[in-house]
Structure 1
Amino acid sequence: MRPLALAAALLALAPAALAQPAPAQPSAPEGHRLVWADEFDADGPPDPARWTFDTSANRTGWYNNEAQYYADARPENARVEAGRLIIEARRERLDPAAFPDHGGQDYTSARMVSRGPGWTYGVFEVRAKLPCGRGSWPAVWMLPTALEAWPEDGEIDIMEHVGHRPGVVHGTVHTGAYNHVAKTQRGAGIRVPDACDAFHRYQVRWTPDAIVFALDDVEYYRFANERTGKPAWPFDQPFQLILNIAVGGDWGGEEGVDDGSFPQRMEVDWVRVWQAE
Structure 2
Amino acid sequence: MGRRVSLSLVAGLGIAGLGIAGPGIGGLVSSVAAQDASPATQVSVADQEAATIDAQPRVETSVPAGFELVWSDEFDAPGLPDPTKWKYDTFRNEKGWFNNEKQYYAEGRLENSRVENGNLIIEARQEDLAPGRFPDWSGQEYSSARLLTQGLGDWTFGFFEIRAKLPCGTGTWPAIWMLPSEPDIEWPAGGEIDIMEHVGFEPGIIHHSIHTTAFNFSRGTQKTSKHELPTACDAMHKYQLLWAPNMLLFAVDDQPKFLFQKESDKKTRWPFDKPQHLLLNVAVGGTWGGQKGIDPSAFPARMEVDYVRVFQPTNLIGQQEQASSK
Flag whether TM exceeds 0.5 (same fold): yes
Correspondence for 2:19: none
Correspondence for 1:139: 175
Q: Deviations over 1:116-166 (max 9, x none)?
A: 351000001100000001000000000000041111110000000000000
Correspondence for 2:164: 128
Give the counterpart of 1:173 among 177, 202, 210. Answer: 210
Correspondence for 1:219: 256
* Counterpart residue identity of residue 163, structure 2: R
Give the Cα–Cα distance (whole angstroms) in 1 for the partners of residues 233 and 62 of structure 2.
25
Deviation at 1:93, TM superposition (A): 2.0
Correspondence for 2:57: none
Give the counterpart of 1:91 among 118, 126, 133. Answer: 126
CA contact (8 A) 2:63 2:159 kept: no
Give the Cα–Cα distance (whole angstroms) in 1 for the partners of residues 140 and 117 of structure 2.
30
User: SS where residue 60 of structure 1 aligns?
Assistant: coil
Bigger strand fraction: 1
Aligned alpha-carbon RMSD (Å): 1.1
* Counterpart residue identity of residue 68, structure 1: Q
Correspondence for 2:187: 150
CA contact (8 A) 1:28 1:34 kept: no
User: SS where residue 241 of structure 1 aligns?
Assistant: strand
User: Which 5+ residue runs of structure 1 have no aligned equivalent?
Assistant: 1-25
* Counterpart residue identity of residue 236, structure 1: D
Give the counterpart of 2:285 among 245, 248, 257. Answer: 248
Deviation at 1:27, TM superposition (A): 7.2
Give the counterpart of 1:202 among 229, 235, 239. Answer: 239
CA contact (8 A) 2:62 2:254 kept: no
- Count of residue correspondences: 252
For 1:40-55, list aligned pairs within 5 A: 40-55=75-90
Give the Cα–Cα distance (whole angstroms) in 1 for the partners of residues 155 and 142 of structure 2.
32
Correspondence for 1:70: 105
Q: TM-score, normalised by structure 1?
A: 0.89
User: SS where residue 250 of structure 1 aligns?
Assistant: helix
Q: Deviations over 1:150-190 (max 9, x none)?
A: 11110000000000000000110000000000010001011
Deviation at 1:29, TM superposition (A): 2.7
The yes-or-no answer on 1:276 pairing with 2:313 is yes
CA contact (8 A) 1:86 1:265 kept: yes
Deviation at 1:261, TM superposition (A): 1.3
User: SS where residue 222 of structure 1 aligns?
Assistant: strand
Give the Cα–Cα distance (whole angstroms) in 1 for the partners of residues 216 and 128 of structure 2.
33
Deviation at 1:101, TM superposition (A): 0.4
Give the Cα–Cα distance (whole angstroms) in 2 for the partners of residues 63 and 93 of structure 1.
21
Percent identity, aligned pairs only? 56
* Counterpart residue identity of residue 281, structure 2: N
User: SS where residue 201 of structure 1 aligns?
Assistant: strand
Deviation at 1:67, TM superposition (A): 0.2
Q: TM-score, normalised by structure 2?
A: 0.76
Q: Deviations over 1:193-247 (max 9, x none)?
A: 0100000000000000100000001001100001241000000000000000000
Correspondence for 2:273: 236
CA contact (8 A) 1:137 1:246 kept: yes
Deviation at 1:91, TM superposition (A): 0.4
Structure number with larger C-alpha Rg: 1
The yes-or-no answer on 1:31 pairing with 2:59 is no
Give the Cα–Cα distance (whole angstroms) in 1 for the partners of residues 248 and 62 of structure 2.
20
Correspondence for 2:147: 112
Give the Cα–Cα distance (whole angstroms) in 1 for the partners of residues 215 and 62 of structure 2.
33
User: SS where residue 162 of structure 1 aligns?
Assistant: coil
Correspondence for 1:260: 297
